[in-house]
Homo-oligomer: A and B are copies of this chain.
């Protein structure tokens, strides 16, 4: 059974909005990444350790991102982000984000795909792979499938949100 989604809270601030009075669409990806950073720290893999040239460096650039906007978000709105692991492959994973307002209504959804950018062909660290696999929320996209993925992980899901 999948775990509960990881929850992250935020407020819509003035700089998030634009002259149309609502969240500028691009800023949703900033908030998704904030949630991702909190999630990775929660898993024991804070980004500050992954970035750079230290022993724990692990280049995990985002290779795909998408969002769907359903209800406008406005200045002062309190937003709850629910982060779920959509899929895990040997060298990549996909995360889903739901942005819920105070009434619990979905205002936006997003997905990011993260791929290991190392050259040696090694897979994700075992601890990270396991932590992600335990949280795979989508029954149709199991971590088992991922283990047989091609090195490029071209098959990672990228369907309609």
Contacts and interface: CB of A to CB of B under 8 A. Distances in A.
B62 A76 contact: no
A149 interface: no
Interface in A32-84: 32-34, 37-38, 41, 46-48, 51-52, 59, 61-70, 72, 74-76
B76 A72 contact: no
A51 B19 contact: yes
Interface size class for chain A?
Answer: 35 or more
Q: What is the oligomeric copy number?
A: 4
Interface in A3-20: 11, 13-15, 17-20
A96 to B, nearest CB: 14
Nearest to A59: B20
Interface of A: 11, 13-15, 17-22, 24-27, 29-30, 32-34, 37-38, 41, 46-48, 51-52, 59, 61-70, 72, 74-76, 112, 158, 160-161
